Amino acid sequence: MIWVTTLGGRLMFFRNTGWLSGAVVLVTTILATGVLAKTQITQKSSSTKSTASANKWADVKGFRSARFGMNEKSVLKTIAKDFKIPRNKVKRNVHPEEKTVSLEVEVPEVLSEGGKAVVGYVFGYKSKKLIQVNVVWGTPVDAKPDARNIVNNANRLRSHFIKKKYQKDGYVTNAKMDESRIIVFRGKDQEGRMVLMILTDPEKNEKKGFFRDITLRLSYILQPDSPDILTIKEGDF
């Protein structure tokens, strides 16, 4: 768990539990919008609010054919349907702290011309149902990712997401978390389900050129404020 101070002096609680099997990023405060880091993320925040207000509400039900509330067996079927990948190619992991189960699969091209990605389906500790889907490009999926391609993916996806309407509370585009991370997009639908996309590009790697340690993580989250994970009850310790 990491407390991150934003440019506005506010604190954000960031649950750092691994790119794929970690359950959720919890946000307790709202970042100011329109703050750009040193990557080549295209700024569109000035027109985002007016555009979003005129569009239909986002409906964050899951990812592709996978829907929140599905069990492992059902999600395995959606993986075969969506990506033509057999069950023996799907990795199953248990998170050591949160005790959530994840199914992970490497996909050659989730996004058209977007490069190789890994998709992780996370199932709740108590419910055993799908609570989150993570799609990851760059490190650690690719040992030498092309930073230009990763940033292009971020821009294309953000442009896609802002076409829909989201709750004003917590809505963010291109907000700097710290020196290496940007919230490219964050929005919640009417049910409170969240789309969250974070670009991680360590500043120390800028001298390494286009092929460097860079990661884009896109998450679809059922309950961002109260994830179904193993926790210690209040008063136990």
The predicted pLDDT at position 161 comes to 98
Count each helix (H run) and each strand (E run) in the chain, helices first.
Answer: 3, 12
Of the chain, the end-to-end C-alpha distance in Å amounts to 18
The predicted pLDDT at position 40 comes to 46
Average pLDDT over residues 135-157: 93
Nearest alpha carbon to residue 149 among 201, 105, 106, 104: 201
47-56 LR contacts (CB < 8 Å, sep 24+): 48/162, 48/173, 51/162, 51/163, 52/162, 52/164, 52/165, 52/166, 52/171, 53/165, 54/165, 55/163, 55/164, 55/165, 56/164, 56/165
Q: What is the pLDDT confidence band of residue 119, given thresholds at 50, 70 and 90? A: very high
Average pLDDT over residues 188-205: 88
How many Å apart are CA 196 and CA 134, to the nearest integer? 9
How many Å apart are CA 159 and CA 5, to the nearest integer? 27
Place of tokens 């990506």: 83
The predicted pLDDT at position 131 comes to 98
How many of the other CB atoms lie within 10 Å of CB of 233?
A: 6
Report CA dihedral (96, 79, 72, 190) to the nearest 10 degrees. Answer: 90
How many Å apart are CA 87 and CA 179, to the nearest integer? 39
Percent of the chain at pLDDT above 90? 65
Q: What is the pLDDT confidence band of residue 19, given thresholds at 50, 70 and 90? A: very low
Average pLDDT over residues 103-127: 96
- What is the tens place of the pLDDT at every residue in 147-172? 999 999 999 999 999 999 999 999 99
The predicted pLDDT at position 204 comes to 54
pTM strictly above 0.85: no
